[in-house]
Copies of this chain bind each other. A is one copy, B any other.
Amino acid sequence: MARVIVDVMLKPEILDPQGQAIARALPRLGFSGVAAVRQGKRFELELEGPADDTALAEVRKMAETLLANTVIEDYTVRVEE
């Protein structure tokens, strides 16, 4: 069993209203020092086998097919130690 993390974030050029709302809420809550916030998604996949090259290529296909909208989102795949 291996755990693979897929992080999905809006591409930098795509407006992120959720992140902007958080950034604007922080000063109202008394927090300072944050210039910008972006919000994205994180998926934890428990694989049945080891996280070898074949499995990671398969996870990348899952990310492109189901987890991310590659028109507006970027994704990264990594194995959790």
Residues of chain A touching chain B, judged by Cβ–Cβ distance below 8 Å, are 1, 7-9, 19, 22, 25-26, 29, 31, 33-49, 55, 58, 61-62, 65-67
Say how many copies of this protein the assembly contains. 2
Q: Is the CB of B41 within 8 A of A39?
A: yes
Q: Which of A34, A38, A39, A58 has the most CB of B within 10 A?
A: A34
Q: Is the CB of B7 within 8 A of A65?
A: no
Q: Is the CB of A34 within 8 A of B22?
A: no
- Could you say which residues of chain B place their CB within 8 Å of the CB of A25? 66
- Could you say which residues of chain B place their CB within 8 Å of the CB of A48? 33-35
Q: Is the CB of B31 within 8 A of A55?
A: no
Q: Given contacts A33-B47, A35-B48, A39-B44, could you give 18 more A-B pairs where the C-beta distance is less than 8 Å?
A: A1-B35, A8-B42, A9-B42, A19-B44, A22-B43, A22-B67, A26-B62, A29-B62, A34-B46, A34-B48, A34-B62, A37-B45, A38-B44, A39-B41, A39-B43, A40-B42, A41-B42, A42-B42
